[in-house]
Amino acid sequence: MIASLSARTPVLVLGLTGRMGRAHAAHMRRYGTNIVGGTALRADAPAEQDGIPVFADIAAAVAGTGAQAAIAMVPPAGMRAAAEAAFAAGIRLLVTIAEGVPVHDSIAIGRAARAAGATWVGPSTPGLALPGRMKIGFLPDVSLRPGDVALMSKSGTLSYEVGYRMAQRGLGQSLWIGVGGDPVKGVRFADLLPVFLADPATRAIVLVGEVGGAEEEEFAAALAATPSAKPVFAIIAGREAKEGVSMGHAGALTWGEFGTHAAKQARLTAAGVRCCATVEALVEALAAG
Amino acid sequence: MLLVEADGKSLLARHGIRVPAAALVRQAEGFCPEGPGPWVVKAQVPVGGRGKAGGIAFCRDAEAVTEALRRLLGGTLRGHPVTMCLVEQAVAGAEEHYLSLLVDPVSYGVRIAWTRAGGIEVEKAGEIASRLAPPEEGAILVAAEELLAEAPPRDRVALREATVSLVRALLRDGLLLAEVNPLFLGPDGAVAGDAKVVLDLNLAETRADLRDLVLARPDAYPDAVRKLEEGFDYVEIDPEGEVGLVTTGAGLSMVVVDEMQAAGLKPLNFCDLRTGQLRGDPARLVRVLGWIAERPQVRVVLVNIFAGITDLGEFGRLLSDALDRTGLRLPVVARLVGNGAAAGRAELERRHPAVAVVDSLPEALTRIAALRAS
């Protein structure tokens, strides 16, 4: 579903009538996203809000609009039910923003997505974008610039910083996906490798990783097994992370040798990825290569 | 978050795992171990590889226990202060096994691993037999049966019982990892020699028993307690640190810490303020500035905010309010980028002209290096 995204893709906002839902729906529309409808957080919601039709539930919204993608602006405790309902209603791509979703709820959401053959991005992500064309989520416009570098990131803010400095250097992105900072999630770095390799608009790949989990290592294994002419650049946050403690993101947790910066950097480097120690070095390497 | 051994064991024990008789000790003086000995003294810090790091002592007599306690308590182990030790009756004449259950994020299932060669070297071996199963008790137990077919018949009953306990702990308490290494197998069945349990702090937000477990130990989990009580992340990296950080966003804040460390600047803390949750109230900023000001070595404060949605004009007001309220005497370097940056800068320049407002992170680090040296 990610490969076929376009400015025409019809998108629903789950929780459109909430404070966040309303504000972000307006931002996304201004950026070019085809917002076709939303669902209400409360039973007494109006039939329309800011010109966007409001439905009682996701099944009615999909039936009424033909939406293929949705963004969930619902609290973490309600995420599992909202996601399962979205996949049951036929949503092909679901982006879930909230952080704080219990890990075993994320396991259930992941299983529901896989059973439905759908794509899930999140939790704890600012979303994704086709820079200059559309975005699902709230990636800041100041960091988005159309270009030929595919960017994927566990961290929102660090990717904003990378995108912003790329833009200042005259570089831009073909596709931008925030996979989120949780230990159990939807789309993972390794899942995106074939998408980026097949995308004719992508010249190079940037991986913005961080300590914890094994996603960078999985990506390294996938890259080593796939001949690729597209260079991959990476920055891994958390070289100085404290062991045994979640560093802001639930997934940014190391213990013993598990999930450490050194382990990730070694595996990525061995797979041919150029690992950079600073944002500055990353952007310079991108500009040069 | 990783629990200390004593808490990991008490959590697993609630689901039926047996643990050795033990005492949790905070002071070497006046403590006398019960029973005949020998004992094992273990530093209670949430890290892996405690044995290799010198955090575990095998003691033949009570004097050795006191000596080990004196050596460990008050020190640090892999960045964590040691405030408690577990003094445990050593398990004699038992075989050491390894048993663990780990959430597998790729298959959305659970990986169960078992091997007969337990003990501290098991991580090195890296060749532990394992099976993947869907996250349901019945399915995991079927996978466990396949795995335990390799076990000596006399051990199977005890291993099955231990497995059932770990499965229930993982599923019912929503854990990411439940690992017992070594799992002692002797004539009396299976006993957990150690426990590594990774708790889901997201679940602890709503599960009172898990939340209480964390809140009961502010000295072992200062960072997690702060997160549960305050709703944001502040992790002290180095109590002797010289630069206090007021930053937002986990990844960017980690990289700021990394880049400062590489540049020879000594960051005090990691901080993910979550500016989107400030809602017009400077309270969170007042808290962070207060914690930073408490540390005597701090020479300068760095504020780094990349605002995707946050209005930096409002943030400038809130930061000014917080600086007024705390009466902070330290120099401040503020780097504001994104939504409303000009308004934020104007607000700070009007109310706190001494604050150095800069545009880029490298520039901010250069300023800090200069202020630290002055």
User: pLDDT tens digits, residue range B223-244?
Assistant: 999 999 999 999 999 999 999 9
Reply yes or no on whether A261 is catalytic. Answer: no
Q: What is d(CA B342, CA B127) in angstroms, rounded to the nearest whole number?
A: 57
Q: Please state, rounded to an integer, the average pLDDT across all residues of chain B.
A: 94
pLDDT of residue A123: 97
Shortest Cα–Cα distance, A170 to chain B (Å): 16
* A281: region left, alpha or beta (phi > 0 left; psi from -120 to 50 alpha): alpha
3-state secondary structure of A96: strand
Residue-wise pLDDT for B26-57, tens only, equals 999 999 999 888 999 999 999 988 999 999 99
Q: How remote is the C-alpha of B296 from its chain's centroid? A: 24
Q: What is d(CA A49, CA B45) in angstroms, rounded to the nearest whole number?
A: 53
A279 interface with B at CB cutoff 8 Å: yes
Residue-wise pLDDT for B309-347, tens only, equals 789 999 999 999 999 999 999 999 999 998 899 999 999
Q: Which residues of chain A have pLDDT under 70?
A: none
CA distances from A44 to A21, A47, A48, A53 (A): 16, 9, 12, 14
Report CB contact under 8 Å: A157, B46.
Answer: no
Q: Which of A203, A139, A153 is nearest to A174 (CA)?
A: A203
Q: What is d(CA B262, CA B96) in angstroms, rounded to the nearest whole number?
A: 42
Question: For residue B288, which residues of chain A lie inside 8 Å, CB to CB?
Answer: none
Entry pTM: 0.95
Report CB contact under 8 Å: B249, A157.
Answer: yes
pLDDT of residue B118: 65
Q: Which of B197, B174, B223 is nearest to B3 (CA)?
A: B197
pLDDT of residue B121: 58
Residues facing B369 on adjacent strands: none
Shortest Cα–Cα distance, A62 to chain B (Å): 27
Report CB contact under 8 Å: B251, A183.
Answer: no
Q: What is d(CA B252, CA B258) in angstroms, rounded to the nearest whole number?
A: 10
The rounded percent of chain B whose pLDDT value lies above 90 is 87
Question: Does residue B141 carry a pLDDT above 60?
Answer: yes
Question: Does residue B123 carry a pLDDT above 80?
Answer: no
| Both tokens assigned to B143 | 């996978």
Cβ(A219)–Cβ(A268) below 8 Å: yes
What's the average model confidence in pLDDT over B195-200? 96
pLDDT of residue B49: 86
pLDDT of residue B122: 54
Where would I find the beta strands (DSSP E) of chain B?
22-25, 39-43, 56-59, 76-77, 80-81, 85-89, 95-104, 109-115, 129-133, 177-186, 189-192, 196-198, 233-236, 243-247, 269-272, 300-307, 332-338, 356-358
A238 interface with B at CB cutoff 8 Å: yes
Phi/psi at A154 (5° precision): -80, -25
pLDDT of residue B182: 93
* Burial tier of A46 (Cβ tally within 10 Å: 0-12, 13-18, 19+): exposed
B280 interface with A at CB cutoff 8 Å: no
| Both tokens assigned to B139 | 């399915």
Q: What is d(CA B90, CA B39) in angstroms, rounded to the nearest whole number?
A: 5
